[in-house]
Copies of this chain bind each other. A is one copy, B any other.
Amino acid sequence: MIKKIVEDSSSIWTQGTGQYPEVVLSSRIRLARNLAQFPFPLQQTETSSNGVLERVAQAIAKDKSLGFYRLEEIPELQRMVLMEKHLISPEHVQNPENKGLVINKDGSISIMVNEEDHLRIQCFESGLELERLWEKANSLDDQLEESLDYAFDEKYGYLTCCPTNLGTGMRVSVMMHLPALVLTKQAERILSQLSKVGIAVRGIFGEGTETLGNLYQLSNQLTLGQSEKDILLNISEMSKKLVDQELTARNYLLQNAGLKIEDKAKRALGILTNAKIISSREALSLISDLRLGQTLNLIDKIDLRLINELFLLCQPAFLQVLNGSVMDPEERDIKRAEMFKEKLI
């Protein structure tokens, strides 16, 4: 199953379905859970780690839609692709020892085992679909709790390794493409205000908070002191507001600078289909230009789904999987340019 997931150029967040697909790539709920009878991962021994892995494997054994893997079994390049698909974390890629992964066929469920917490239960949906996502995550959580004994405190809620995850243990995040807010120079102001309502904003690729490709990830800062419903409502409302602002800005650009946006999108297409060398950073920026043009109907015959996939296909590990072997950065820049030609011509 892993090999199939790794080789598939689509991902939940590339599907272009769900609500507001022109702005929202995907929504995610992540629940942090720990098993009461085992020490937290930071204090784990090999024996207790294996204990957690075994308990989790048993707990999901009956569910045929889920597969269980020890991360050491998965080659590094494949782990990196799973990270590029946002199915596992960078920490889970770099230190696979005694770590596990539970995943379903389409990658809409992914549980990291022995990451910062014993369980990081993740559910994904394409577009802005927080209600559906919550039902899914909640039911998966209940299903697991039938056979697992979670560490829970009446006062603090779910106990987690880091106090920032205490309480609900829930992190809701929404992945958005906001090129028009960036072009109209509103992004910085609008996004910085979100921290005042408890929402953190990050880039989705690359180091730290870099926002390459005008892609942003919104998520709740606090997990404690609010119910799951409140957290979901806040993220949902703010996401809808942002979608609205982005669509207004796109419409403004179309009315007032339509030809410039068309020029930008078509230049991006011209470069992507002609260049021989394309860096990862440039690629994300070009795909962003192309995507903005596509959603404003300024580009012919390119499916939104394909454009979303390009964000994934141009990533370093994915290119190496496509190539069938490890490549240095220079080789990847060449392979990346070849990939774009193949996909877009």
Q: How far is the CB of A334 from chain B (nearest CB, A)?
A: 7
User: What separation, in Å, do the CA atoms of A272 and B266 have in the docked complex?
Assistant: 10
Return the chain B residue nearest A268 by Cβ: B274
Q: Which residues from B are CB-within-8-Å of A302? A: none
* Interface window among A222-230, A244-252, A257-265: A257-265
Check: A275 CB closer than 8 A to any chain B CB: yes
Q: How far is the CB of A252 from chain B (nearest CB, A)?
A: 19
Q: Which of B260, B263, B270, B334 contacts A270 (CB 8 A)?
A: B270
User: What separation, in Å, do the CA atoms of A266 and B275 have in the docked complex?
Assistant: 6
> In the complex, are the beta carbons of A270 and B259 less than 8 A apart?
no
> In the complex, are the beta carbons of B271 and A276 less than 8 A apart?
no
Describe A's contact surface by its main secondary structure: helix
Within 8 A of B (CB), among A59-95: none
Check: A273 CB closer than 8 A to any chain B CB: yes
Say how many copies of this protein the assembly contains: 2
Check: A57 CB closer than 8 A to any chain B CB: no
Q: Which of B259, B269, B277 contacts A334 (CB 8 A)?
A: B259
Interface string of A140-168 (1 = CB under 8 A from B): 00000000000000000000000000000
Q: Which residues from B are CB-within-8-Å of A337? A: 263
Return the chain B residue nearest A263 by Cβ: B276
Q: Which residues from B are CB-within-8-Å of A267? A: 270-271, 274-275
Q: Which residues from B are CB-within-8-Å of A271? A: 267, 270-271
Q: Which residues from B are CB-within-8-Å of A266? A: 274-276
Return the chain B residue nearest A274 by Cβ: B270
Interface string of A284-315 (1 = CB under 8 A from B): 00000000000000000000000000000000
> In the complex, are the beta carbons of A260 and B274 less than 8 A apart?
no
> In the complex, are the beta carbons of B259 and A269 less than 8 A apart?
no
Q: How far is the CB of A107 from chain B (nearest CB, A)?
A: 34
Q: Which residues from B are CB-within-8-Å of A272? A: 270
Q: How far is the CB of A281 from chain B (nearest CB, A)?
A: 16
Most buried by B among A259, A276, A337: A276
User: What separation, in Å, do the CA atoms of A270 and B269 have in the docked complex?
Assistant: 8
User: What separation, in Å, do the CA atoms of A257 and B266 have in the docked complex?
Assistant: 27
Interface string of A106-146 (1 = CB under 8 A from B): 00000000000000000000000000000000000000000
The 16 sampled A-B contact pairs (Cβ below 8 Å) are A259-B276, A259-B277, A259-B334, A263-B276, A263-B277, A263-B337, A266-B274, A266-B276, A267-B271, A269-B274, A270-B270, A270-B271, A270-B272, A270-B273, A270-B275, A271-B271
Given contacts A266-B276, A270-B270, 14 further A-B contacts (CB under 8 A): A259-B276, A259-B277, A260-B277, A262-B276, A263-B275, A263-B277, A266-B274, A266-B275, A267-B274, A269-B270, A269-B274, A270-B271, A270-B274, A271-B271
State the 6 A-B residue pairs at the shortest beta-carbon distance, nearest first: A270-B274, A270-B270, A263-B276, A266-B274, A263-B277, A267-B275
